Amino acid sequence: MGWLIRSGGVAVILSVFGIFYFVGKEVLPLFRSADVAPVGKFDALAVPAVLGVDEWGEMPFFYDGGDKVVFLSVADAARREIEVPGLAGLKITAHAFDPVHLRVSLGLEDGRVGSFLVGYERKFSGDGKSIIEPAVTAEPWFSLKHGEGAVTAVSYGDSGAGRVIAARRGEGAVATVSVLRLGMKRGLVGKGKLSLLEEVEVTKELGAEPLLLRASQNGAMVLVALADGGVAYFLADSQGVSKRQTFRPFDGVSPRQMDFLFGGVAVVLTAMDGRQEQWSLFRAGRDGERMFGESKVFPQLGEGRVIFAASQRNRTFLTGSGRDLSIRHSTSGAVRWEGALDIDPVTAVLDAKGGHFIAAAADGTARRYSIHDPHPEAGWRAFFGKVWYEGGSEPVYQWQSTGGSDDFEPKLSLIPLIFGSLKGTACALIFSIPVALLAAVFSAAFLPLEIKRVVKPVMEIMSSLPSVVLGFLAGLWLAPLLETRVPSVMMMTLVVPLAALATGYVWCRLPNSFRNRFAQGSEWIIVIPFLALAGWIGWSLGPVIESLLFVHKDAATGNEIADFRLWWPQAAGISFEQRNSLVLGFMMGFAVIPVIFTIAEDALSNVPESLTAAAAALGANRWQVVRTVLLPVASSGIFSALMIGFGRAVGETMIMVMATGNTPITEWNLFNGMRTLSANIAVELPEAPVGSTHYRTLFLGAVVLFAMTFFMNTAAELLRQRLRDRNKLV
Binding region for another protein (CB under 8 A): 448-450, 511-513, 516-517, 520, 608, 610-621, 624, 628-629, 632-633, 726-730
Give the nearer residue to another protein in terms of CB position, either 166 or 447: 447
Q: How far is the CB of 621 from another protein (least distance, A)?
A: 5
Q: Tell me which DSSP letter residue 30 carries.
A: G
Q: Which is nearer to another protein, 291 or 620 (CB)?
A: 620
**What DSSP line would sit under 140-174, residue for residue?**
--EE--SS-S-EEEEEEEE-SSEEEEEEEESSGGG
Phi (first) and psi of residue 126, to 5 degrees: -60, -35
Beta strands at 151-158 and 176-185: parallel, antiparallel or unpaired? unpaired
**Least CB distance from residue 727 to another protein, whole Å?**
4
DSSP designation for 557: T
Our CB check for another protein shows the closer of 88 and 614 to be 614
| Residue number, 446 or 539, with CB nearest to another protein | 446
Give the span between the Cα atoms of 440 and 640, in whole angstroms: 14
645, 432 contact by CB (below 8 A): yes
Q: How far is the CB of 526 from another protein (least distance, A)?
A: 17
The SS3 of residue 235 is: strand
For residue 37, with 0-12 CB atoms within 10 Å meaning exposed, 13-18 middle and 19 or more buried, which class applies? Answer: exposed
- For residues 428 and 62, give the distance between their C-alpha atoms in angstroms, rounded to a whole number: 64
Q: How far is the CB of 517 from another protein (least distance, A)?
A: 7
Comparing CB distances to another protein, the nearer of 340 and 508 is 508
User: Smallest gap, in angstroms, from Cβ of residue 537 to another protein?
Assistant: 33
Are residues 236 and 216 in contact, defined by beta-carbon separation less than 8 angstroms? no
Specify the residue, 166 or 629, whose C-beta has the smaller distance to another protein: 629
Instruction: Name the minimum Å distance from CB 634 to another protein.
Output: 11
How deeply is 627 buried, as exposed, middle or buried, from its count of CB atoms within 10 A (0-12, 13-18, 19+)? Answer: middle
| Least distance between another protein and beta carbon 626 (Å) | 12
CB closer to another protein, 415 vs 444 = 444
At closest approach, how far in Å is the CB of 633 from another protein?
Answer: 6
Q: Determine the residue type at 98.
A: D
Of the candidates 262, 261, 282, 259, the one whose C-alpha atom is nearest the C-alpha of residue 270 is 259
Report d(CA 118, CA 80) in Å as an integer. 13
Q: Which is nearer to another protein, 293 or 504 (CB)?
A: 504
Q: What is the smallest separation between the CB atom of 625 and another protein, expressed in angstroms?
A: 9
**Rounded Cα distance, 50 and 36, in Å:** 23
Whether the CB-CB separation of 237 and 290 falls below 8 Å is answered with no
Residue number with CB closer to another protein (508 or 690): 508
Strand order in the sheet with 335-340: 306-310, 316-321, 324-329, 335-340
Kindly tell me which of 119 and 448 has the beta carbon lying closer to another protein. 448
Smallest gap from Cβ 530 to another protein, in A, equals 23
Minimum CB–partner distance for residue 588 and another protein (Å): 34
**Which of 304-331 are b and which e, b meaning 16 or more Cβ less than 10 Å from the residue's Cβ?**
eebbbbbbbbbbbbbbbbbbebbbbbbb
Q: How far is the CB of 597 from another protein (least distance, A)?
A: 21
SS (H, E, C) 651-707: HCCHHHHHHCECCCCCCCCCCCCECCHHHHHHHHHHHCCCCCHHHHHHHHHHHHHHH
310 versus 634: smaller Cβ distance to another protein: 634
Q: How far is the CB of 453 from another protein (least distance, A)?
A: 10
Q: Considering beta carbons, is residue 398 or 628 the nearer one to another protein?
A: 628
- CB atoms < 10 A from the CB of 728, how many? 9
Beta carbon nearer to another protein, 580 or 640: 640
Nearer to another protein, 633 or 705 (CB): 633
The least distance separating another protein from the CB of residue 699, rounded to whole angstroms, comes to: 45
What helix, strand, coil percent values describe the chain, rounded to 5? 40, 30, 35
Residue 334 or 607 having the CB closest to another protein: 607
State the minimum distance, in angstroms, from the CB of residue 730 to another protein: 6
What is the identity of the amino acid at 719?
L
Return the HEC string of 578-627: CCCHHHHHHHHHHHHHHHHHHHHHHHHHCCCHHHHHHHHHCCCCHHHHHH
> Long-range pairs for 59-63 at CB < 8 Å and ≥24 separation?
59/120, 59/132, 59/134, 60/349, 60/358, 60/366, 60/368, 61/118, 61/134, 62/360, 62/366, 63/95, 63/104
**C-alpha separations of 259 from 164, 214, 253, 599 in Å:** 16, 7, 17, 63
Asked whether 419 and 574 are in contact (CB, 8 A), the reply is: no
